[in-house]
A and B are shown apart, each in its own frame.
Chain A
Amino acid sequence: MKVTITKSDFDKILVHARKEAPLEACGLIAGSDHDGIREIQKVYLLTNVDHTSEHFSLDPKEQLSAVLDMRKSGLKPLGNWHSHPASPSRSSQEDIRLAFDHTASYLILSLMDDAHPVLHSFHVENGVSEQEELVIVE
Chain B
Amino acid sequence: MKKKMIFSEFFRNNGLGMGSLLIALVGFWLIFLIVLPQLSMLDYSFRFNLPPAEQGGPKDFYTLSNYEHLLYGSDQTHQTYNSVDLMVFVRTIIAAMLVTLFNIVLCYPLAYFLGQSKGSGFVRLLVVLLIIPYWINEILRAFALRIIFGESGLLNEALMFMHLIREPIDFIRQDIALYAGLGYAYILLMLFPMYNVIESLDRNQIEAARDMGASWIQIHRRIVIPHAKPGIVSGATMVFMLTAGALAAPQILGGPSSLWFTQLVYQWFNDSLNWQQGAAYAIVLLASTIVIVLTVMRIFKVNMGDIGK
A, B bound: no
By a beta-carbon cutoff of 8 Å, the part of chain B in contact with chain A is: none
By a beta-carbon cutoff of 8 Å, the part of chain A in contact with chain B is: none
